[in-house]
Structure 1
Amino acid sequence: MGFHEVRFPASLSFGSVGGPERLTEIVTLASGFEARNTPWAQARRRYDAGVALRSLDDIEALIAFFEARQGQLCGFRWKDWSDFRSGRAGAAPAFDDQRIGVGDDARVAFQLFKTYRSGAQEAVRPVIKPVRGSVRMGLGGVEMREGVHYEVDDSTGIVTFSEPPNRDVAVTAGYEFDVPVRFDTDRIQVSLASFQAGEVPSVPVVEIRI
């Protein structure tokens, strides 16, 4: 499966509709009680890029991007404006936003992830498409320097330290990130008359596992 390390124009995704989707299997028993299960460990996000289109130039940019990805064939990066930072939405990433591991004197590679908490429950989401230049790392409450203390693979979200963090030292991270997606259609239908009348095409986009 092809994946292009290019972001869908952020100006076109701003204003789009979408978010996380879960798959829950529900069986109602004869007693009236329910048995609930999910085969998905992670949520899958869906968006509609058509909602954000505002001009004919936007449509031209969309079609060019769609053709370059060959429809559903190749994946790409998507900025989810409602969830693209390691910390609070209104704050710039800080090196201690997320605790992603603990040193053991041997391990040098750590996967970025984001933890969502509500009460006593939490969900952990791997972050595999960090934005280049946005990743900040810390060890034991002290910020490290990229290119000196660590390197980031922005195509996988794996951070590699030049030396293994010491045992029991907290490894923390802050970053911006994109969602790996593909178009969920092989066809874009645009009517110029309808668009000028305020009707926009539906352009479904779905998160992919890579």
Structure 2
Amino acid sequence: MAFHEVRFPDDISRGARGGPERRTQIVELASGDEERNASWANSRRRYDVAYGIRRADDLAAVVAFFEARNGRLYGFRFKDWADYKSCLPSQTPSATDQAIGTGDGTTTDFQLVKVYSSGSQTWTRAITKPVAGTVRIAIDGSAQASGWAVDTTTGLVTFNTAPASGAAITAGFEFEVPVRFDTDTLDVTLDLERLGSITSIPLLEIRR
């Protein structure tokens, strides 16, 4: 997958609009009842970063970023300010935030994940773009300062020695979303003061 490990400018992404999207098929029966079926097992995020452009310099930064990515060709990292931590927005990530696996004495690789819960229902999201330097790991609640490494391009945590059978592996982290531009055209409008604006700059999450 063509991907650049570079983050979209934070001062512009902070003003973006967007979030998760699901795909559901709904069939209305002759009786008026409905049958619903989930076409996607996982959600996909969409954003529009045009709302974050407030100055001419912001516009120039987006155009440069777009050109460097060759439009839709190369993916990149994006900070979703509404959802970028393993914990609640008001908290600081800790090593016990998310359960990422259970040791079996053999497995050394564990994927970072974030679990979304409401009532008895949960959905588990694979985290593939953790932020370097933010990942914290614990085994059975005990923080591990060493003995492991994380690949910040995949979100895979690798232990030097396999955790013991039954050991609870947890993690805390900040993360970004792998996205690409969902257009090959930037429609720039220049006003009389030459400030400029772009009506829409859509981004789409990349799912593997």
Cα shift at 1:31: 2.2
Cα shift at 1:197: 8.0
For residues 162 and 25 of structure 1, what CA distance do their matches in structure 2 show? 45
For 2:183, the equivalent position in structure 1 comes to 185
Matched, 1:121 2:121: yes
For 1:156, the equivalent position in structure 2 comes to 154
**Letter aligned with residue 192 of structure 1:** L
Q: 1:64 to 1:25 in 2, by over 3 A?
A: same
Report if the CA contact (8 A) 2:56-2:196 is conserved: no
SS in structure 2 at match of 1:176:
coil
Moved over 6 A (4+): 194-198
Question: Which stretches in structure 1 are left out of the alignment for 5+ residues?
Answer: none
For residues 91 and 208 of structure 1, what CA distance do their matches in structure 2 show? 27
For residues 195 and 182 of structure 1, what CA distance do their matches in structure 2 show? 31
For 1:94, the equivalent position in structure 2 comes to 94
Listed as ranges, the matches of 1:62-73 within 5 Å are: 62-73=62-73
* From 161, 164, 167, the counterpart of 1:166: 164
Cα shift at 1:201: 2.5
* From 172, 195, 207, the counterpart of 2:205: 207
For residues 195 and 43 of structure 1, what CA distance do their matches in structure 2 show? 41
For 1:17, the equivalent position in structure 2 comes to 17
For residues 196 and 16 of structure 2, what CA distance do their matches in structure 1 show? 15
For 1:143, the equivalent position in structure 2 comes to 143
The size of the alignment, in residue pairs, is 208
Percent identity (aligned): 50
For 1:112, the equivalent position in structure 2 comes to 112
SS in structure 2 at match of 1:152:
strand
User: Over residues 127-162 of structure 1, what are the superposed CA-to-partner deviations in whole Å (9 max), with x where a residue is unaligned?
Assistant: 0000011100000010001xx310000000000011
Deviates more, 1:194-203 or 1:58-67: 194-203
User: Over residues 97-143 of structure 1, what are the superposed CA-to-partner deviations in whole Å (9 max), with x where a residue is unaligned?
Assistant: 00111111111100000000000001110000000111000000100
Report if the CA contact (8 A) 2:13-2:79 is conserved: yes
RMSD: 1.5
User: Over residues 50-103 of structure 1, what are the superposed CA-to-partner deviations in whole Å (9 max), with x where a residue is unaligned?
Assistant: 000010000110000000000001100000000000001111110000011111
For 1:55, the equivalent position in structure 2 comes to 55
Report if the CA contact (8 A) 2:22-2:43 is conserved: yes
For residues 163 and 199 of structure 2, what CA distance do their matches in structure 1 show? 51
TM-score, normalised to structure 1, is 0.95
Cα shift at 1:202: 0.8
Cα shift at 1:41: 1.1
TM-score, normalised to structure 2, is 0.96
Question: Which stretches in structure 2 are left out of the alignment for 5+ residues?
Answer: none
